[in-house]
Amino acid sequence: MSSSKAPAEQATALDAELFAIRLGVVKATSFDVKYIIIITDSLTAARRAVNASVHSGQAHSLAIVQALRGFFTNHPDRSIHFWDCPSKVQWSLHFLAHEDTTSTKIAAEHHPATSLDALRSKSTAACLNAWRTSFARPSFQGCHFFPLKGGIKNLLQPSYAKGGGWLPFIGESVTLCARAT
């Protein structure tokens, strides 16, 4: 059994999972084994692992595909399997690996590498923050804005995700939709 760790720098959880898959596949293909089993709680990362098209973690995917190419060349009996193991199940081996990985803290370098998805996430957060700050001013809202409340006392804030903060609360009410628009 072997283990290795490396900092993922500034990355999203998906990019960090893809990097972990890369470390595992590259290490596993260096041994004389017939099959590789990757246990992950992110099927999206597993799909990206063997997808060499343009995406945030493309460099990891290319390294994985290159390692697998050598692994499968002239060896038709070899295989790789991806097993989905949701974190909430807390399966002992996966849980121990997850705990070991997330408990490791490494100080960031002066100019750490940043993944494309991490930059997108940071940009989106800054945009939403600016939007919410501006929206708090009545002059930005306008004088005929119809405020909606989510839950008991919380005013709904602007959002871009899943139809925004307001559209799900409008539902199928034609009159409410007319007033909101």
Residue 161 DSSP symbol: G
- On average, the pLDDT of the chain sits at 79
Q: Is there a single domain that holds both residue 42 and residue 26? A: yes
Same domain, 58 and 107: yes
Both 122 and 45 in one domain: the answer is no
Q: Same structural domain for residues 19 and 106? A: yes
User: Cα 44–46–50 angle (5° rounding)?
Assistant: 115
Q: Write down which residue in 79, 112, 145 finishes a domain.
A: 112
- Give the pLDDT of residue 33: 94
Expressed as residue numbers, the domain containing 121 is 117-180
Number of structural domains in the chain:
2
pLDDT in tens, 26-60: 999 999 999 999 989 899 999 999 999 988 888 89
pLDDT of residue 65: 96
pLDDT digits 0-9 by tens, 112-139: 666 777 777 788 888 878 877 887 777 7
Q: Are residues 106 and 26 in the same domain?
A: yes
Q: What is the DSSP letter of 122?
A: H
Q: Are residues 26 and 98 in the same domain?
A: yes
Q: Which region, left, alpha or beta, applies to residue 151 given φ > 0 means left and ψ of -120 to 50 means alpha?
A: left
Q: Which pLDDT score, from 0 to 100, does residue 50 have? A: 95
Q: In this structure, is residue 45 part of a structural domain?
A: yes
pLDDT the model gives residue 9:
63
SS3 for 102? helix
Q: Quick one: tokens of 163?
A: 């139809």
**Mean pLDDT (whole number) for 73-81:** 94
Are 14 and 44 contacting, i.e. CB atoms less than 8 angstroms apart? Answer: yes
**pLDDT tier at 155 (50, 70, 90 boundaries)?**
low
What is the 3 state secondary structure string of 84-139? Answer: ECCHHHCCHHHHHHHHHHHHCCCCCCCCCCECHHHHHHHHHHHHHHHHHHHHCCHH
Whether 85 shows a pLDDT value over 80: the answer reads yes
